[in-house]
A = this chain, B = another copy of it.
Amino acid sequence: MAREMVRQGGRSARIQSEVHRTVQDLLKTMDRGEITVPMIAEKSGVTPSTIYRRWGDLSELLADVAVARMRPVADPEDTGAMESDLEAFILQYAEEMSSKVGRAMLADVLGSMEGDAAGRCCQFTYDHLETLRERALGRGEAAFDVKEAIDFVVAPIIYHILFGDRELSTDYCRSLVSRFFVK
């Protein structure tokens, strides 16, 4: 009986979703710097010690919530052609990530060291791009390389969001995509 697994049903799961929901509610109302663990505990009807034991500290909890929110619910839109597929996806990605909540989620994800929140959230992007690539292959198009798309298009977007050194206009995002295809 070497398997001592995490319990995934019943009360434990109910508490997790309750805490997650509370955190998301609080993030709508107030700034992230004002949120505290005791505050979350009271609003969700859970004792603080439970939160500390399960998540360690506030930043880990916020990262966990952020990853959950970033988990995609559907495949990227199918526009009929690879280039427009990628452009549509990138425009939506840039808009989501550069919004206030998007930047907050990014910061939360990158502020955590346990649990590999950054890696998991990064994987969502890879998966989407891979979907677009396979879709292109199915159409018989000359598909792109996912890693190169990350380097040429995604990385600059994330960089400018994080460092705030450049406006993320739709024109600029489009230029990143077209630059990638003429390469």
Contacts and interface: CB of A to CB of B under 8 A. Distances in A.
A154 B121 CA distance: 21
Copies in the complex: 2
Q: Quick one: which of A116, A119, A151 has the most chain B CB within 10 A?
A: A151
Given A150-B159, A159-B158, A126 B165 contact: yes
Interface in A102-135: 107, 110-111, 113, 116, 118-119, 121-123, 126
Q: Quick one: which of A33, A152, A158, A163 has the most chain B CB within 10 A?
A: A163
Nearest to A183: B183
A164 B118 contact: yes
Main DSSP-derived SS at the A contact region: helix
Query: Chain A, interface size: which category?
Result: 20 to 34
A165 B111 contact: no
Contact of A164 (B119, B160, B176): B119
Given A118-B164, A147-B166, A155-B156, 12 more contacts: A110-B110, A110-B162, A111-B111, A118-B162, A119-B165, A121-B163, A150-B159, A155-B159, A158-B158, A158-B159, A162-B162, A183-B183
Interface of A: 33, 107, 110-111, 113, 116, 118-119, 121-123, 126, 147, 150-152, 154-156, 158-160, 162-166, 176, 183
16 contacts: A33-B113, A107-B110, A110-B110, A110-B111, A110-B162, A119-B164, A122-B163, A122-B164, A122-B165, A150-B165, A151-B156, A151-B159, A158-B158, A158-B159, A159-B159, A162-B162
